[in-house]
Each structure stands twice: as C-alpha cells, then as structure tokens.
Amino acid sequence: MTTRRNFLKNSTMLAAGFGLSPMISSAATNRKEEDIIGRVNLGVVGLGMGCADLWAAMSGNPWVHCLGLCDVNKERLDAQMKTFQKNFPERTTSMKAFTDFRELLKVKEIDGVIVGTPDHWHAYIFAEVLKAGKAVYVEKPVGNSIAECNAMVDIKNKYKGITSCGLWQTSQRYFVAANEILKSGILGDVYKVQTWLCQTTNPSSVVEDSEAPSSHIL
C-alpha cells in the first residue's frame, strides 16, 4: 500500500512516469507535518493537454488533492472540472475554477502549480508561481529561448523555489545509459549524430495579441 510518507521517501517518478515527484515531495516536506494532515494540494494553469500531469499525480496517490483549475477557455475549464470531480470526488471538494492564474495563486493552501499553458506563457507564469512561494512544474519546452531559460534559472535561485519540468524522459535509465556510453569513449570519436522527429517543424504563423473571446470568460 502506498502512503504519502513512503512515496516521499522512496519514489523517483510519479504515477505514469511524469516527473512531478520532486515538486510534490519538496512542497510537502517544506510544510509542517501537523499542517499537511497527509495531503498535498495542487493547482493547474492551462488545461489544453487534458490535465495529463494532474491525472498522473492524483492516480494512486490518495494524499494528492486539487484545489484549482485555470484556463481562459470556459468550455475546456468546465469539462475538466466535471471530469476530476467525477473521478476524484473526495479530493476535489474544495476545487475552484479560475480564468486568471493570478487569482489561483492567491489560494494559500495550494502547495504546487502545474503549468501546461502554451509555451510563450511558461516563463511569466513560472516566475509568478515562485514569487507566490509555491512549487512549480512546467511543461516542455521550459522556455522559448536560451536567454529566457537562463532568466528562469535566475528567478528560481532568487526565490529559492522548488521546480521540476516536463523533460523527465531524460532521467530515464535508457537516456542515462546512452549518455554514459557516449562519455566512456567506447564509441570512439563521434562525427555524426542522426535524429528523427515525429511531428512537423513548420513554424506557426504569428497572431496579434487580443482579448480572449467573451464565450470563454466566466
């Protein structure tokens, strides 16, 4: 039987392999035991990925609760609220819907925030979550440029924040083993590396900033 204490002590990957455990375990251990009462509270900003990260965090971990979901798309927000309330009724009793992530960050009881927004929002929301004193898990790509990622590292260090990201696959054993083989020199001098992409690399067209459609606002 998995308990919160055993999970924090022994696990390295959460649920279906998502790299949320560093964020969750650190968020929990940073709070006093008597305040935790065996639970960790999460919020999610950006639901377009189907809340897969939240689903992984809550599946099989009864001490993980969700206190807030945030998205500018009301239809998507309502659908995910219903889905999680149906499947995790005892751990979503205090869950609220938000269209402005800054309002979600005002919920003091939230320990960690999952950021699953479009990429160009990652850096800003990442910074605001850390400023609010909460742990953060940000989906890949972490940022849109090296400079942006460097700025995010600086913010993380400034606020001494707890962070994790969606690059968890690079921590899998086969990635680590391949890297060790390369560093060992057994392959000799590597002159060529061939890679494959399973999706298009065509750039998206630039869209001017605009207000969210009224039908998507609560």
The CA distance from 156 to 162, in Å, is 8
Structural domain contains residue 162: yes
Structural domain contains residue 135: yes
Structural domain contains residue 113: yes
Predicted confidence at residue 38, as pLDDT, reads 72
Structural domain contains residue 62: yes
Judged by DSSP in three states, 206 sits in coil
CATH number for the domain including 89? 3.40.50.720
Structural domain contains residue 102: yes
Structural domain contains residue 218: no
Structural domain contains residue 12: yes
Structural domain contains residue 192: no
Which of the 8 DSSP states describes residue 204?
P
- Alpha helices per DSSP H over 59-121: 74-87, 101-105
Which of the 8 DSSP states describes residue 65?
E
Residues of the chain with pLDDT under 50: 1-18, 32-34, 36, 215-218
Domain count, the chain: 1
Please report, in angstroms and rounded to a whole number, the separation of the first and last CA atoms in the chain. 41
Predicted confidence at residue 114, as pLDDT, reads 97
Predicted confidence at residue 10, as pLDDT, reads 37
Boundaries of domain holding 59: 4-170
